[in-house]
Amino acid sequence: MDPQPDRTIPVVTGTGTGSTELSAFDAALRDAGVANFNLVRLSSVVPPRTSVDTEGTHPVPAGAWGDRLYCVYAEQRASVPGEQAWAGIGWVQRVDGEGGLFVEHEGDSEEIVAKLIDLSLADLVAGRPESFGPVQQVRTGVTCTEEPVCALVVAAYETAGWEFAR
């Protein structure tokens, strides 16, 4: 049997503004290119032989309106003028290429989100016997000026359609 092919998980960001926090979240989903999917949140494990792309060389997986998008995501909303919303995803890859770990955090400052990602990944790595490479992160943020805002980071694994029994 052939080994599984190399796979890539794109990490995309978005920010949005709306009349409500929910519509700001939708605007951030649109900005990130994932608005027409149903997000299915995954936990923290990156499959073997999978790379992470933050440069935009791998697009979000294709899919139809309403398909499931399996992903890890962080989202933070703010609705008081002057408040900041920050979201971030961090990860480490095993040095042998056999997988990795994601974490996601939200907060009201970039520094808080970065620190939480570092702390979480340090704990996750310390609890495992495998060797991991350096911590990597993607963060995005937005400041509320008048209307509610949302910051979003999504690691998009794959999409799947729906098979309804009739």
- Closest by Cα among 24, 29, 27 to 149: 24
User: Does residue 126 belong to any structural domain of this protein?
Assistant: yes
Q: State the amino acid at position 141 in one-letter form.
A: G
Whether the per-residue pLDDT at 4 is higher than 70: the answer is no
**Cα-trace Rg, the chain:** 17
d(CA 140, CA 137): 10
37 has pLDDT over 70: yes
Q: Is the pLDDT of residue 151 over 90?
A: yes
Mean pLDDT of 1-9: 64
pLDDT at 2 over 90: no
User: What confidence tens digit (pLDDT) does each residue in 94-140 have?
Assistant: 999 999 999 999 999 999 999 999 999 999 999 999 999 999 999 99
Chain segment 47-62, per-residue pLDDT in tens? 999 999 998 889 999 9
Does residue 40 register a pLDDT over 50? yes
The one catalytic residue in 36, 38, 109, 131 is 38
Cα–Cα distance measured from residue 19 to residue 79, given in angstroms and rounded to the nearest whole number:
10
Q: How many CB atoms lie within 10 A of CB 119?
A: 13
Residue 131 known to be catalytic: no
Residue 141 above 70 pLDDT?
Answer: yes
Is 0.95 surpassed by the pTM of this model? no
The H or E element that residue 83 is part of is none
- Residues 50 and 114 sit within 8 Å (Cβ to Cβ): no
* pLDDT over 50 (residue 83): yes
1 falls in which pLDDT band (50, 70, 90)? very low
Query: Which is catalytic among the residues 36, 55, 75, 104?
Result: 104
Mean pLDDT value across residues 79-87 = 98
The CATH number given to whatever domain includes residue 122 is 3.50.20.10
Q: Are 107 and 113 in contact (CB under 8 A)?
A: yes
Q: Is 165 domain-assigned? A: no
Number of domains in the chain: 1
**1 occurs within a structural domain:** no
To the query of whether residue 43 is one of the catalytic residues in this protein, the response is: yes
Helices (H), the chain: 21-32, 110-126
- Per the CB < 8 A criterion, the answer to whether 70 and 157 are in contact is yes
- Please pick, among 44, 51, 110, 147, the residue that the annotation labels catalytic: 44
Residue 13: phi, psi to the nearest 5? Answer: -125, 160
Q: Which pLDDT value is given to residue 5?
A: 54
Q: Is residue 133 part of a domain?
A: yes
Domain around 22: 12-160
